[in-house]
Amino acid sequence: MSADIAAAPWWRGPVRFFQHLLRETDAIGFDAGRVIDEARQASATAIVAMGGGFSAWYPTALSSQERNPHMTGDCLGEMLAAARGAGMRALVRMDISKGRAAWLTRDPDWFVRKPDGSPSLVWTMPQICATGPYWEREVFSILDEILSRYPVDGFFFNYFGVPRCWCPRCRAIVRAETGQDVPAPGERRPAYERWRQRRIADYTARLVAHVRAPQPDAIVVPYHHVRDGWDYRAMAAAGDLVAPQVSNPVAVNPIDPQPQWTHWASEEALMALSQRPDRAPLVLQTGSAFFASRQTAMPAGRLVRNVIQAAAQGSSTCPAINGYLDQDDPRAIPAIIEVGRYLAAAARWYEGLSSLAAIAVVRSPDSVAWGPDQGSLAGHPARPGHVSEFRGLFSALSDLGHPCDVLVAGGLDRETLGRYRLVVLPAVSCLSDADAAALDAYVAAGGTVIATADAGASDQDGTPRTSPPLACLPSLPGPPSTVFGAYLVLSPGGLRRTLPEIPHVGVDGDFWRPLGDEAPGDLRLLGPFANNAPEFTVLEGGGTAPGLIWAVHGHGSAAWLPWRLGAMYQAYGLTDHARILDALVSVVVGEAPVGGLPAGVTAILKRHPDGEVLHLLNDAAPQGRPQLDPPTLAGFDVTVRSPATCVHRIDTGDELAATRQGDRLSFTVPGLGVFTAFALTGGEGAR
Alpha carbons 499 and 16: distance in angstroms, whole number: 46
Alpha carbons 283 and 270: distance in angstroms, whole number: 11
Q: What is the pLDDT of residue 517?
A: 62
What is the per-residue DSSP string for 96-119?
A: -SB--TTHHHH-GGGB-B-TTSPB
Q: What is the pLDDT of residue 663?
A: 94
Q: What is the mean pLDDT of residues 191-208?
A: 98
Q: pLDDT tens digits for 470-505?
A: 999 998 888 899 998 899 999 988 999 999 999 999
Alpha carbons 86 and 634: distance in angstroms, whole number: 42
Q: What is the pLDDT of residue 292?
A: 65
Q: pLDDT tens digits for 514-572?
A: 886 666 789 999 988 877 788 877 777 778 899 999 999 999 999 999 999 999 999 99
Q: What is the pLDDT of residue 500?
A: 93
Long-range contacts of 119-123 (CB under 8 A, 24+ apart): 120/163, 120/165, 122/97, 122/98, 122/159
Q: Is the pLDDT at 5 greater than 60, yes or no?
A: no
Per cent of the chain over pLDDT 90 is 84
Contacts of 405 (CB under 8 A, 6+ apart): 270, 273, 274, 355, 357, 359, 360, 361, 420
Q: Is the pLDDT at 25 greater than 50, yes or no?
A: yes
Q: What is the pLDDT of residue 540?
A: 77
64-73, 83-92, 605-614, 627-636: least confidently modelled range: 627-636
Omega of the bond leading into 426 within 30 degrees of 0 (cis): no
- Distance, first Cα to last Cα, the chain: 13
Q: Is the pLDDT at 156 greater than 70, yes or no?
A: yes
* Residue type at 135 in one-letter notation: W
Sheet holding 664-672, edge to edge: 594-595, 633-641, 664-672, 658-661
Q: What is the pLDDT of residue 440?
A: 98
N residues, the chain? 687
Closest to 300 (Cα-Cα) out of 676, 677, 674: 674
Q: Is the pLDDT at 372 greater than 80, yes or no?
A: yes
Q: What is the pLDDT of residue 515?
A: 80
Each residue of 658-677: b (16+ CB within 10 Å) or e? beeeeebbbbebeebebbbb
Q: What is the pLDDT of residue 102?
A: 95
CB atoms near residue 534 (< 10 Å): 7
Residue 1: pLDDT band (50, 70, 90) is very low
Give SS3 for 647: strand
Q: pLDDT tens digits for 56-85?
A: 999 999 999 999 999 999 999 999 999 999
- The pTM for the full model equals 0.96
Q: What is the pLDDT of residue 518?
A: 63
Closest to 565 (Cα-Cα) out of 434, 400, 414, 370: 400
Q: What is the pLDDT of residue 293?
A: 66
Contact yes or no for 638/669 (Cβ under 8 A):
yes
Q: Is the pLDDT at 291 greater than 80, yes or no?
A: no
Q: What is the pLDDT of residue 519?
A: 67
What is the per-residue DSSP string for 437-491?
A: HHHHHHHHTT-EEEEETTTTSB-TTSPBPSS-S-SSS-PEEEEEEE-TTEEEEPP
Q: Is the pLDDT at 400 greater than 80, yes or no?
A: yes
Handedness of CA 310, 311, 313, 316 (dihedral sign): positive
Cross-strand pairs, 408: 363
Long-range contacts of 581-585 (CB under 8 A, 24+ apart): 581/393, 581/396, 581/397, 581/400, 582/400, 583/495, 583/498, 583/499, 584/450, 584/548, 584/559, 585/359, 585/397, 585/400, 585/402, 585/422, 585/450
Contact yes or no for 169/131 (Cβ under 8 A):
yes
Q: What is the pLDDT of residue 650?
A: 97
Angle between helix 386-399 and 264-275 (nearest 10): 100
Alpha carbons 255 and 122: distance in angstroms, whole number: 10
Q: Is the pLDDT at 597 greater than 50, yes or no?
A: yes
Q: pLDDT tens digits for 266-283?
A: 999 999 999 999 999 999
Residue 313: pLDDT band (50, 70, 90) is very high
Phi, psi of 397, rounded to the nearest 5 degrees: -65, -40
Residue 379: pLDDT band (50, 70, 90) is confident
Sheet holding 422-425, edge to edge: 404-408, 359-363, 422-425, 448-452, 556-561, 546-553, 521-526, 486-489, 504-507
Q: What is the mean pLDDT of residues 121-129?
A: 95
Q: Does residue 12 or residue 538 have the better pLDDT?
A: 12
Closest to 44 (Cα-Cα) out of 287, 312, 319, 330: 319
Residue 6: pLDDT band (50, 70, 90) is low
Contacts of 206 (CB under 8 A, 6+ apart): none
Per cent of the chain over pLDDT 70 is 97
Q: Is the pLDDT at 198 greater than 50, yes or no?
A: yes
Q: What is the pLDDT of residue 514?
A: 87
Q: What is the pLDDT of residue 686?
A: 40
Alpha carbons 43 and 37: distance in angstroms, whole number: 10
Closest to 49 (Cα-Cα) out of 86, 14, 13: 86
Q: Which domains does the chain have, with CATH numbers?
A: 3-350 (3.20.20.80), 359-589 (3.40.50.880), 596-681 (2.60.40.1180)
Closest to 399 (Cα-Cα) out of 157, 556, 122, 597: 597
Mean pLDDT of the chain: 94
